[in-house]
Amino acid sequence: MNSKELEQMIKESLADCKLDLDEKYAFKELANTLETEQLRFIKNKAFELGRPSIEQGGSEAIRVYHWLERLLKAIQPHETNFTMKPSAYFSPGDACRVKIIALIKQAKHSINICVFTISDNIIVREILAAHKRGIKVVIISDNDKANDKGSDIDRLSAQGVQVILDHSPHHMHHKFAVFDDKILLNGSFNWTRSATDVNQENILVTANSELVLAYVDKFQALKKRFS
């Protein structure tokens, strides 16, 4: 994310001085993906944008001050993925999508995705960015959903991402992903806009080695079966 995008994100949050739950998740997960200079930019820009209201005093100054406190707390360094406790995220709202994007951005060498359908352009953009920076991305999906209007499966395949489809009479209905063979994401959440915007969905993220290995093995079995 470049400085203009970061600044716009800060301005949108400052507009109502609330830093609601979705915004808090967004900043917290984004902090895992940024360099030290980018984190410093967020802090400096937040103070710069909030300073005029704080200097004027009154109730607005108090609101901006509390917003700053919450923002700075959200972007403080926290546990790395490899020592983290399992965490759960729910929709509707951006929490699931934000976590998925954060994990894609953090991936160092591989992303194995096994989902029923992918049609969220925001997530697709991050998958393509990971592919372009040399991350080995493999996607297993369902052939019936790949033909749906709005599906991005063909787009991903056309740009060089390895896509494997289940052409059996039944559905490949899994919704999980494994990052660097160390982080597991699993739940009901399909990678679609409706899953974020309106559906009641969930994901669970864990670095538990036994669970990760079970899903790595399952992914490889499905890859072999459908290839």
End of a domain among 30, 52, 74?
74
Whether residue 180 lies in the annotated active site: yes
Higher pLDDT: 95 or 29? It is 95
Percent of the chain with pLDDT over 90: 57
Identify whether residues 218 and 108 lie together within a single domain. yes
Given a contact cutoff of 8 angstroms between Cβ atoms, the answer to whether 191 and 118 are in contact is: yes
Say whether both 16 and 56 belong to one domain: yes
pLDDT above 70 coverage of the chain, percent = 94
What number is the average pLDDT over the span 177-181? 93
Token look-up 């399952």 returns 218
Residues 100 and 64 placed together within one structural domain of the fold = no
2, 36, 99, 159, 206 from 33: Cα distances, Å: 12, 10, 11, 24, 18
Q: Comparing 1-15, 89-103, 113-127, which segment has the lowest mean pLDDT?
A: 1-15
- The parent domain of residue 154 ranges over 87-226
- As a whole number, mean pLDDT of residues 123-144 equals 94
Same domain, 102 and 51: no
pLDDT, tens only, 141-156: 998 766 666 688 999 9
Report the number of distinct structural domains present in the chain: 2
Please report the sign of the dihedral spanned by the C-alpha atoms of residue 7, residue 8, residue 10, residue 15.
positive
Looking at the fold, whether 70 and 143 belong to one and the same domain comes out as no
Kindly state whether residues 23 and 97 are assigned to the same domain: no
Place of tokens 């970061």: 6
Q: What is the CATH number of the domain that holds 102?
A: 3.30.870.10
Q: Is residue 65 part of a domain?
A: yes
Domain assignment of residue 52, yes or no: yes
Tell me if 79 is assigned to some domain: no
197 shares a domain with 117: yes
pLDDT for res 157 = 93
Active site residue 174: no
- Does 114 lie in the same domain as 43? no
The catalytic position among 175, 182, 217, 218 is 175
Choice among 16, 171, 173, 197 that is catalytic: 173
**pLDDT tens per residue across span 182-214:** 899 999 999 999 999 999 999 999 998 889 989
pLDDT (tens digit per residue) in 155-172: 999 999 999 998 888 899
pTM as predicted: 0.64
Indicate whether 15 belongs to any domain.
Answer: yes
Smallest Cα–Cα separation from 102: which of 118, 67, 78, 71? 78
Q: Is 170 a catalytic residue?
A: no
